[in-house]
Amino acid sequence: REKKYDYLIVGAGLFGSVFAHEMTKLGKKCFVIDKRSHLGGNVYCENNEGINVHKYGAHIFHTNDKKIWDYVNQFATFNNYINSPLSLSKGKLYNLPFNMNTFYQLWGTKTPEEAKAVIDAQIEKYGVKSPKNLEEQALSLIGKDIYETLIKEYTEKQWGKKASELPAFIIKRLPVRYTYNNNYFNDVYQGIPIGGYNTIINGLLEGIETKTNVDFFSERESLSSIADKIVYTGKIDEFFDYKYGALEYRSLRFENQWHEMQNYQGNAVVNYNDSEYKFTRIIEHKHFEFGTQKNTIITKEYPENWDKSKEAYYPINNDVNQQKFKQYKEDALALKNVIFGGRLAEYRYYDMHQIIASSLKKVEEMHKKNLTI
Ligand code: UDP
């Protein structure tokens, strides 16, 4: 090592924390900074009256990959929470994801054959062979009734764009199932870490030098000179001073309410499909951990346009933005001493398990390179 640290890690979210943990194990000296007043990025929870409040939006861990599951289980034990959100549409509640319960609630169909007949007829009528946007994708996957009852308005307020202007892949995240199964995910492993996500972050960063309230961009030169390499997990366009133009993101505003009652909505997640509600969902945090506290805390989640004063939550991966991102990525690849990783630096709609996998892969790549030098 020529400098004080092998790695300066900008951003203490999952990508950065996993990277720091693994590199430290390999004998590298890491320094993790974050502009916020705490570590953990968006998985950070704030404990309030014994309830872990998912401060930057609900996080439910799920993966099909045993390696990733074992990895997180080193740091926390997971409970058996299964995400089964409901969606309120025009005064009625429906089960999600789209499954036999939903179909029964919509059409009264009782068997898979009956439900399939309704859906297939609608797909036949409104679907297209190769869907080019979210609307076409939804109509081809699940038909008009579900699209209009549970998808269109939710999607358009979530993204602030017409469903016909959004990429198709977004809706493919949701399962369609001909069983009475309200599990939102198809993955083999799922749960919420007992003690909250901070337990995992603390485990990952134990014994590693960290500093919060540090804005990389306000001390860019001096910070860049203290380590051989930089791991950057912030917005890739900001790193390059928006030289190809700003990438688009969707932001969120969280409105937290404390209620003097034990149980506000009976479920951790209730989506609000209709556009008359400006929020997309209400999260009741205690239900992620089967909490029995006397009171409850709920969060209404309002999607918002992003600007430089706000947090960037979702990349908007449409063609225009992907083209811009490609230019940034080329520049990023040319920088040999900077590694770009995570949702914002890779401009990808990553889930937690995917970020961990991507970070572990990066460490492995770097490690192999070091060995061959
Ligand atoms: N979606 C929808 N209706 C719902 C829930 C989700 O149409 O009740 C669509 C919407 O387009 C959303 C996408 O499915 O952006 C992915 O939803 P998911 O719950 O995976 O999003 P996240 O929890 O990451 O915000």
DSSP state of 244: T
Residue type at 304 in one-letter notation: E
How far is it, in rounded angstroms, from Cα 201 to Cα 90?
40
Ligand 1, residue 150: give the atom nearest the CA: 3
- How many CA atoms within 13 Å lie on the side-chain side of 48? 17
What confidence tens digit (pLDDT) does each residue in 288-321 have?
Answer: 999 999 999 999 999 999 999 999 999 999 999 9
Q: Which residues contact 79 (CB under 8 A, 6 or more apart)?
A: 191, 192, 193, 194, 289, 290
Asked if residue 371 has pLDDT above 70, the reply is no
Asked if residue 22 has pLDDT above 60, the reply is yes
| The two three-digit tokens of residue 94, written as one number | 């429906």
Ligand 1, residue 281: give the atom nearest the CA: 8
CATH topology of domain 5-81+190-248+313-372: Rossmann fold (3.40.50)
Which listed residue (34, 289, 301, 346) is catalytic?
301
- List Cα–Cα distances, 265 to 83, 86, 150, 282, 287, in angstroms: 15, 10, 19, 9, 10
| Peptide bond before residue 175 is cis, with ω within 30 degrees of 0 | no
What confidence tens digit (pLDDT) does each residue in 102-143 have?
Answer: 999 999 999 999 999 999 999 999 989 999 999 999 999 999
Res 38: pLDDT: 98
Q: Which residues contact 57 (CB under 8 A, 6 or more apart)?
A: 42, 252, 254, 283, 301, 313
Asked if residue 154 has pLDDT above 60, the reply is yes
Asked if residue 330 has pLDDT above 80, the reply is yes
Which listed residue (7, 22, 189, 250) is catalytic?
250
How far is it, in rounded angstroms, from Cα 46 to Cα 92?
32
Asked if residue 370 has pLDDT above 90, the reply is no
Asked if residue 223 has pLDDT above 90, the reply is yes
Q: How many angstroms separate the first and last alpha carbons of the chain?
A: 13
- The CA radius of gyration of the chain, in Å to the nearest whole number, is 22
- Annotated active-site residue 173? The verdict is yes
Distance 155 CA to ligand 1 centre (A): 7
Q: Which residues contact 222 (CB under 8 A, 6 or more apart)?
A: none
For residue 93, which of 81, 83, 82, 106 has the smallest C-alpha distance? 106
Q: Residues enclosing ligand 1, CB less than 6 A?
A: 87, 96, 150-151, 154-155, 158, 170-171, 173-174, 271, 273
3-state secondary structure of 88: strand
What confidence tens digit (pLDDT) does each residue in 162-191 have?
Answer: 999 999 999 988 899 999 999 999 999 999
Res 102: pLDDT: 98
Which listed residue (6, 34, 248, 281) is catalytic?
281
How far from chain centre, in Å, is Cα 308? 20
| The two three-digit tokens of residue 58, written as one number | 């609900």
Beta-strand runs (E) in 242-355:
249-259, 269-272, 281-284, 296-305, 314-315, 338-340
Asked if residue 373 has pLDDT above 60, the reply is no
How far is it, in rounded angstroms, from Cα 126 to Cα 142?
10
Percentage of the chain beyond pLDDT 90 is 96
Q: Ligand 1 pocket test: pick from 59, 154, 159 the residue with the most ligand atoms within 8 Å of its Cβ.
A: 154
Res 372: pLDDT: 57
How far is it, in rounded angstroms, from Cα 146 to Cα 205?
44
Ligand 1, residue 351: give the atom nearest the CA: 24
Q: Ligand 1 pocket test: pick from 60, 174, 183, 283 the residue with the most ligand atoms within 8 Å of its Cβ.
A: 174
Asked if residue 343 has pLDDT above 70, the reply is yes
Ligand 1, residue 85: give the atom nearest the CA: 8
Q: Are 283 and 350 in contact (CB under 8 A)?
A: no
Residue 61 backbone phi and psi in degrees, to 5:
-80, 130
- Annotated active-site residue 264? The verdict is no
Res 1: pLDDT: 83
Tell me the ipTM for this assembly: 0.98
How far is it, in rounded angstroms, from Cα 254 to Cα 59?
14
For residue 281, which of 294, 272, 289 has the smallest C-alpha distance? 272
Domain ranges in the chain with CATH number 3.40.50.720: 5-81+190-248+313-372
| The two three-digit tokens of residue 361, written as one number | 């892969």
Q: Are 355 and 342 in contact (CB under 8 A)?
A: yes
| Element holding 220 (H helix, E strand) | helix 220-224
DSSP state of 267: S
Strand pairing of 51-54 and 92-95?
unpaired
Asked if residue 161 has pLDDT above 70, the reply is yes
Residue that is written with structure tokens 């297939």 in the block: 120
Work out the average pLDDT over 201-214.
98
Res 369: pLDDT: 84
Q: What is the average pLDDT value for the chain, to the nearest integer? A: 96
How far is it, in rounded angstroms, from Cα 361 to Cα 288?
30
Distance 359 CA to ligand 1 centre (A): 25
What confidence tens digit (pLDDT) does each residue in 230-241 have?
Answer: 999 999 999 999
